[in-house]
Amino acid sequence: MTQTLAIIKPDAVAGGKAGSILAHVEAAGFTVRALRMTRLSVPQAEAFYAVHRGRPFYGSLCRFMTSGPCIPMVLARADAVGQLRRVIGATDPAEAAPGTVRRLYAESKERNAIHASDSDENAEREIAFFFSQAERTELWE
């Protein structure tokens, strides 16, 4: 078992897609280990996406991610990072494979329904960004 961080983004929450996306990832073999609804502040969004600072879409991305509630969650299964990226599809829904979360539910390259960690190292950092050790383990250990 390994873990990754997913965020159902504000476009998908506002569009009433959160339940369908959660069902999709559970059907793909993931177990939800922690989950909450929150609304990111601007400093939180800027910190979470600090790796993209300087990219042309950074300001717009941070505005979008603070535009409404989102649902961060810790998902577990074997090869969680790689498998979740396969299940969600390419960043741009127009390029995402049929049947992937982004192909089914995303609006655009920015408003793309779901975030997923891109490496085990980033998964660790991103999980810790949203969830304390106690929140991640109290139900499971």
Active site residues: 115
Residues 2-41 contacting ligand CMP, CB under 6 A: none
Regarding 107 and contact with ligand CMP (CB under 6 A), the answer is no
Supply the minimum distance, in Å, between the C-beta of residue 137 and ligand CMP. Answer: 26
Residue 88: strand, helix, or coil: helix
Regarding 109 and contact with ligand CMP (CB under 6 A), the answer is yes
Supply the minimum distance, in Å, between the C-beta of residue 34 and ligand CMP. Answer: 18
Stretch 56-75: interaction string toward ligand CMP, x if CB under 6 A: -x---x--------------
132 CB burial (10 A radius; 0-12, 13-18, 19+) = exposed
The residue behind tokens 């539910």 is 105
Regarding 110 and contact with ligand CMP (CB under 6 A), the answer is yes
Q: Which residues make Cβ contacts (< 8 Å) with residue 80, sequence separation at least 6?
A: 1, 2, 3, 4, 30, 123
From residue 123, how far is each of 15, 20, 47, 93, 126 by CA, in Å?
26, 23, 15, 22, 5
Nearer to ligand CMP, 60 or 137 (CB): 60
Q: Which positions touch ligand CMP (CB under 6 A)?
A: 52, 57, 61, 91, 109-110, 112, 115
